Structure 1
Amino acid sequence: MLLHDINPSIKALAVVVCVLILSVFFDPVTPSLTLVITIAVTFMFGRVSIKKWLLLFSPFLFMAFIYIWSAILFSRSAEEETILWTWGILTLTEEGFQRALSLGLRVLSFTSLSLLFILTTKPTEFLLSLMQQCRLSPKLAYGIMAGYRFLPLIKEEFEIIRSAHRIRGVSKARSFSEKIAELKRYAVPLLAGAIRKAERTAMAMESKGFTGDKNRQFYHKITVSKKDWAFFAIMVSAVLLSAYTSWQLGYLQLYNGEL
């Protein structure tokens, strides 16, 4: 069973449910175990490049470190908490360190679940699944799909316009006012080109009989099978098993809205 073959809507539902379950708990063990399981599932059952995964994961790793450091410095310490380290007005307690670690690991767990979905799901198949299984409006779905397809074209047009300006001797903007003027020079032709492409796409879709009817036929059909629900059950069970393990170790805590 490869993650790329799982129904995108069921995969998205599994990720959302896992995130919601993790949001209930606030201890370091539950998100850390979920993080390990999610990474293992991603690389064992998904054709995912380790280099690409690390490139996308590293900014959130830095963000988690900032969260942990901030929570340690500005945590609220009670009198009954165990003090580990004190320096001036800064006091580090065992309970405060666990709360800070829990916050950082939650960020990493959410990130790993999101990357599992993003790196193993094609945008086109996801939109088709939303139309076929979730009854998403075809007008909205095909509009998003067309906009997604336009992004590489807009980038290419931007490079052409910038090269044309350099050939004609337009100097590079240095001051703030020059950058605003440069932005206008780029924005107007790009906007005009985008409008022309949108009109041509709309006319082409109307000529092919596209009406936005939800009961339309699809050339590429996305189905739901037992393996999709098995993946959903496995992911949710993994999070619940992590919470149960944390409870057995005596670390499980419910999130009460306070740090």
Structure 2
Amino acid sequence: MIKFKTKKIVTSIIATLAISAISLNAADYGSVNGEEITKEDIAIALRNPNIDFEKLPKKSKNQVIDQIVEKKLLTEKAIKAGVSSDAKYKETLAKFEKELALEIWMQNEAKKIKVSDKELKDFYDKNKDKFNVPATLEARHILIKDEKEAKDIIKTLDKAKDKKEEFIKLAKEKSVGPSGPKGGYLGKFSENQMVAEFSKAASALKVGTYTKVPVKTQFGYHVIYLEGKEAPKTLTFDEVKGKINQVIFQEKFQDEIRAQAEELKTKAKIIIK
């Protein structure tokens, strides 16, 4: 896949200047020498779209605003100093303009790409095997190095009234695996994700039951408790329609850009040294 990224000309400057705290609210972030502090300024300063500025503590908000203020003041100073006349500035700006021109052109070309419902459905019908989801298990285990101790654990479980609660307790106390502190919880996994002996034993269990014989693997002896099981299935067209659209769109877009590039090569004067 071909990727094009615009280059950043100005890096974020974080100074340690002491400035007065700024009162914040959702609608008004203030201004610097008449230039407003915008949501875009804040988004650039945060550098993370997952952070909600409005939910940050007041101290953190002030720190972000301080950075923006400093950046605007220093940028203003740089412009007044005549940096736009600097040869390096002009060279970098020229390169950036070319990169930006390509980026915007690519975005406009992408808007011309259309994927029909028929194309989506045909892709799904021809590739159904790619949308098969294997059986999924949800389990806990207690990993023990000694077989006798594993058998003793099973005997203890046999006597317990609440099997799951006792299993979790024993896993925290005795399991040597990394899942021990979590009560032996392994989460959800496909049948073929674990070593063969483990997967076979776990798959044979009914939900809410545990292995009556220790399961030996290269890691030791396991006592397995099955919490859940989902049968294998094929994802429906509606479930994967969005992903199929992305795949076909990208293929079409790449093919179109590549075709245009090849045509331009035939008309261009290209010298390779």
Relative CO higher for 1 or 2, CA cutoff 8 Å, sep ≥ 6?
1
Greater fraction of residues in strand = 2
Q: With the length of structure 2 as denominator, give the TM-score of the two structures.
A: 0.32
Q: TM-score, normalised by structure 1?
A: 0.34
* Higher gyration radius (CA): 2
| Bigger helix share | 1
